[in-house]
Amino acid sequence: MRVLAKVLLLLVGLPLSAADRPAEVVVLCTLHQMHEEVSSYSYAALSDAIVRLQPTVLMVELTPSDLAGRAEQKNKREYQNSVYPLLQQHKWTAVAMEPEGPQRAELLGRVREAEERLAREAPQKLEAFQFYVESLFSYLQPRWRSPADANAPWTDDQFAVKHAFQNKLFGPKEEEGWEGWNHYFLDRITVTAKVNPGSRVVVLVGVEHCYWLRAHLRNAPGTTLLDTASLLR
């Protein structure tokens, strides 16, 4: 009956209620400590972008414990410099995305095992990869002239290539850790969207994860993925 009611509403041209609409999901890339190096995407610019996206729910790249305690972050310094103050000012629902406990240890352990194996068996390959990563960010940073650029398809494409190469170079443990971490994010996002129909869910996540999440959210049930770059221009 519920499906029939939706069809009838559409046929007579009446809008669906918020409870019947899928959640709008916006993936907003962050640069962690690099916000201090990219003047066009500073902590202030990140704060402005979040406010402009008008979230109902703000999903953050933190563990539940860190979010609850507003823990200072060593690398993800956007939290103490931007996100935590915004959460104080606005009545957004905040949802943590990172795993903690045994699941976190298992996923990070796989990545660490892959890195240690490569360093032990092929240190020259690890050195070459590190040079590639430094070169990639040296190329991207001056080209990020706005928050929209950091969220543009061409930025996503660069990191899709990076992680395809990284998974191949470091081996199956690296790929298992990377895919597992991203799938955990994805599961948290889809569950949050399901329990918040008709809302705007803004997902804050490091720039390297964005290509993966956008690709998997485009056809995720109960969600409508919005174009972040277009919203920010």
Question: Given this model, what pLDDT does residue 101 score?
Answer: 96
pLDDT tens per residue across span 63-95: 999 999 999 999 999 999 999 999 999 999 999
**Percent residues over pLDDT 70 in the chain:** 92
Query: In the predicted model, what is the mean pLDDT of residues 4-27?
Result: 64
Question: Given this model, what pLDDT does residue 3 score?
Answer: 44
Query: In the predicted model, what is the mean pLDDT of residues 113-141?
Result: 97
Q: Confidence class of residue 20 from pLDDT cuts 50, 70 and 90?
A: confident
Parallel, antiparallel, or unpaired: how do β-strands 200-206 and 23-30 relate?
A: parallel
Q: Which residue has the tokens 């919005």?
A: 226
pLDDT tens per residue across span 31-42: 999 999 999 999
Whether residue 57 contacts residue 200, with contact meaning beta carbons closer than 8 Å, is answered with yes
Please state the pTM of the whole predicted model.
0.90
State the DSSP code for 205: E
Q: Report which secondary-structure segment, H or E, holds 27.
A: strand 23-30
Query: In the predicted model, what is the mean pLDDT of residues 114-132?
Result: 97
**Which of 10-19, 102-111, 149-158 comes out lowest in average pLDDT?**
10-19
Adjacent-strand bridge partners of 28: 204
Whether residue 95 contacts residue 59, with contact meaning beta carbons closer than 8 Å, is answered with yes
State the average pLDDT for the chain.
93
Q: Confidence class of residue 8 from pLDDT cuts 50, 70 and 90?
A: very low
Q: Which residue has the tokens 């962050």?
A: 30
Whether residue 63 contacts residue 188, with contact meaning beta carbons closer than 8 Å, is answered with no
Rounded to 10 degrees, the C-alpha dihedral 83/87/93/97 comes to 30
Both tokens assigned to 72: 């200072």
